[in-house]
Amino acid sequence: MMVRVVTFSAIFLAATSVVAAAETRDDGGRLGIGQGANSCWAWTRSHEAKAATQGLYRQWVAGFVSGLNWDTADPDILTEMDFDGLMAWVDNYCKANPLAKVTTGAAMLVQELRERAQRK
């Protein structure tokens, strides 16, 4: 019985966090969906607690950055950065900007990576 309660609770919490993060508009007026719609405070809290949602956030950022990298004729922005480096950048951004959206942090990361790629 206890296993059922714990399993149900975990599924319920995961489902409600995804629904709560369904969509939001960032400062640029674009609609963002998924975990990126949450605040950087939620990102930091999830990572510090090593919560199940940590993987959702990480994969959301990886997909966002990869998608923007593929959808451009600009130089490849990921040639000098690995997954852990991307996550460390977002961790630092979110700790410094807890009220910002994860989407905004990911967009700032892409901007910095594009600037680095242009300098080469």
pTM, entire model: 0.75
H-run or E-run covering 77: none
Hey, which residues does 101 pair with through a beta bridge? 39
Question: CA separation (Å) from 55 to 47, 61, 77, 85, 107?
Answer: 9, 10, 22, 15, 19
Q: Which domain holds residue 31?
A: 2-119
pLDDT given for residue 1 in this prediction: 57
Rounded percentage of the chain residues whose pLDDT exceeds 90: 58
Terminal CA-CA length for the chain: 60
In the chain, how many domains are there? 1
Residue 72 has pLDDT above 90, yes or no: no
Q: Taking all residues of the chain, what is their mean pLDDT, rounded to a whole number?
A: 82
Band of residue 28 on the pLDDT scale cut at 50, 70, 90: low
Band of residue 67 on the pLDDT scale cut at 50, 70, 90: very high
